[in-house]
Amino acid sequence: MSKMTMSQKILAAHAGLPEVHAGQLIEADLDLVLGNDITSPVAINELHKFTKEGVFDKDKIALVPDHFVPNKDIKSAENCKCVREFAIKNKITNYFEVGKMGIEHALLPEQGLTVAGDLIIGADSHTCTYGALGAFSTGIGSTDMAAGMATGKAWFKVPSAIRFNIVGKPSKWVSGKDVILHIIGMIGVDGALYKSMEFVGEGIKNLSMDDRFTIANMAIEAGGKNGIFPVDDIAIAYMKEHAPNKKYVVYEADEDAEYDEEYTIDLSTLTPTVSFPHLPENTHTFDNIDDIEIDQVVIGSCTNGRIDDLRIAAEVLTDHHVADGVRCIVIPATQKIYLQAMEEGLIKTFIEAGAIVSTPTCGPCLGGYMGVLASKERCVSTTNRNFVGRMGAIDSEIYLASPAVAAASAVKGKIAQPSELGL
């Protein structure tokens, strides 16, 4: 038998093969096909060109309008109308619009649609999020989404892998965002190009599910094909809570599995980390960050809009106030998270601190709405990309950070960490 990684085992199982090896082309059966309000209309229009009518399985497709919703203009309304009509016509079970909505990569695990051992494709690059639960999930183009919806299959080139051995325990204000920014700063935005990023080690038990979702979510920012975590007690507890009736399969890498590189990440040595413009790999820690005044803070997105993220931000903002001249926008990732934050008093904390709270949406992350930047404005954001013009004007600047750093920065009016507030 070949020496297979965790990702390769999932691909082999779904291709009906005893083994696969890096570089091999395979056709594999899909457990879930995902699209949003930007990518789904393109896929739906492609589907109309196929001879096959309908979809392969109405229960294995998820359509989540989340980027420009509630609709910000006529074009976004037309896109959502296209998706809505397709969902109704094909009786798509997992269609989530305003009222049931959320940011897709937070919503699907919460709804129990993604579990260990699944093979998932999504027409959104951050589909790699579900690797946190031990699934092989990856982003694809809209044409592949169309083929997946029609046939329930997709082609893959089997990726090689990088192994990240996670050890130690993080200090108080260090979260999954700091871990993945540290890794991207270390290996670069193409350091894992078309490779699986496989996370292992005794330190993983010190990472919450929300930390893991954040780390897997940003595998693509290192060029990764997917990110994946082992299925431990924490992951199993999450699936039992959110997907009690869904069968999951645990895959483990062979002991002699082959990796292109191996790295050890000691969580106890990490400190709050910020990615400066205009690439996620441009990372800095606070021992070399000068005073950088800011105009806006965004706390949310598929990367950091979960309940843990909001709790951390609220803890920093308690008994503090957003600085004059700074706009602080908080975006819970799903309706359920919004409600939980309300019941826990977090929303009250945000509003009393001078922040605003938005309906669940991707919104400002991609320069959509709810926080577009003007010329030369600077934003500290818990999102995942800080490319030129990503959040608005091409001469604006985005600094990627954790919810703790984002909240502290909102209070100080400049890039700051919680310790600067005496926390």
pLDDT per residue as tens digits for the range 208-267: 999 999 999 999 999 999 999 999 999 999 999 999 999 999 999 999 999 999 999 999
Average pLDDT over residues 52-57: 88
Cβ-based neighbours of 190, under 8 Å, separated by 6 or more: 222, 223
Q: Amino acid identity of 196?
A: S
* 331 and 360 Cβ atoms separated by less than 8 Å: yes
- The highest-level CATH class for domain 6-265 is alpha beta
Q: CA triplet 331, 337, 339: central angle to 5 degrees?
A: 100
Average pLDDT over residues 324-338: 97
Three-state DSSP class for residue 412: helix
End-to-end CA distance of the chain: 53
- Tell me what pLDDT residue 2 has: 75
Using alpha carbons, select from 228, 401, 196 the residue that is nearest to residue 313. Answer: 401
pLDDT per residue as tens digits for the range 160-216: 999 999 999 999 999 999 999 999 999 999 999 999 999 999 999 999 999 999 999
- Tell me what pLDDT residue 98 has: 82
pLDDT per residue as tens digits for the range 171-186: 999 999 999 999 999 9
Average pLDDT over residues 39-52: 89
Average pLDDT over residues 339-353: 98
The pLDDT-based confidence of 403 (bands split at 50, 70, 90) is: very high
pLDDT per residue as tens digits for the range 291-302: 999 999 999 999
Cβ-based neighbours of 53, under 8 Å, separated by 6 or more: none
* Per-chain mean pLDDT for the chain: 96
Pick from 126-135, 152-161, 361-370: least confident? 361-370
- The highest-level CATH class for domain 272-421 is alpha beta
For residues 407 and 320, give the distance between their C-alpha atoms in angstroms, rounded to a whole number. 10
pLDDT at 1 over 70: no
The pLDDT-based confidence of 63 (bands split at 50, 70, 90) is: very high
For residues 201 and 15, give the distance between their C-alpha atoms in angstroms, rounded to a whole number. 28
Average pLDDT over residues 25-43: 96
Average pLDDT over residues 29-41: 96
Average pLDDT over residues 95-111: 93
pLDDT per residue as tens digits for the range 69-91: 999 999 999 999 999 999 999 99
- Tell me what pLDDT residue 296 has: 98
**Residues carrying CATH 3.30.499.10, the chain:** 6-265, 272-421
